[in-house]
Amino acid sequence: MKGRTTIRFTGGALDGTVEEIQSKAATEELTWSKGSYFSVLDNGDIGVMNVGPKGFHQGWFGYSVEVYQKAFRTGSEIPYEYKVDRMIGRCAAITKTGKRCQHIHIAKGKYCPTHKNHTGESVPDELIV
């Protein structure tokens, strides 16, 4: 179909999975969330939660994704090979409303692009991934 591309994952949790996606979405890397994440629970403990219909618990601070790398196309499908697991962490800034920023932080940092020069209050180090 025009504008659509079939991709096939090899390795990782998606090994053997075939998907049809928008051709423009077939970028060099695709990431796939494993469906679980780290969160501060209502009782203050830190735990692993599964993403539910309402999305993340308000205390979420990180989750891991699998990264798949686009490989050389040999047939009608574009192969994507499992490369690495990567942690995605939440921005550590505490906003003016007293709540933690909802955005994810940039690679090798602890703040999102909006808060990259943040000098105000942050969450404790143990909540930064």
103 binding Zn ion? (CB under 5 A): yes
Among 30, 93, 110, 127, binds Zn ion (CB under 5 A): 93
Burial 22-55 (b: 16+ CB within 10 A, else e): eeeebeeebebeeeebbbbeeeeeeeebeeeeee
92 binding Zn ion? (CB under 5 A): no
Partners of residue 57 on adjacent β-strands: none
CA distance linking residue 79 with residue 46, whole number of Å: 37
> The dihedral of CA 35, 85, 94, 106: what is its sign?
negative
Report the residue number, 83 or 103, with the smaller CB distance to Zn ion. Answer: 103
91 binding Zn ion? (CB under 5 A): yes
Report the residue number, 78 or 92, with the smaller CB distance to Zn ion. Answer: 92
Select from 31-39, 66-74, 100-108, 120-128 the region that touches Zn ion (CB under 5 A).
100-108
Least Cβ distance, residue 127 to Zn ion (angstroms): 14
Q: Exposed (0-12), middle (13-18) or buried (19+): which is 106, by Cβ within 10 Å?
A: middle
Report the residue number, 8 or 115, with the smaller CB distance to Zn ion. Answer: 115
> Interface residues with Zn ion (CB under 5 A)?
91, 93, 101, 103, 112, 114-115
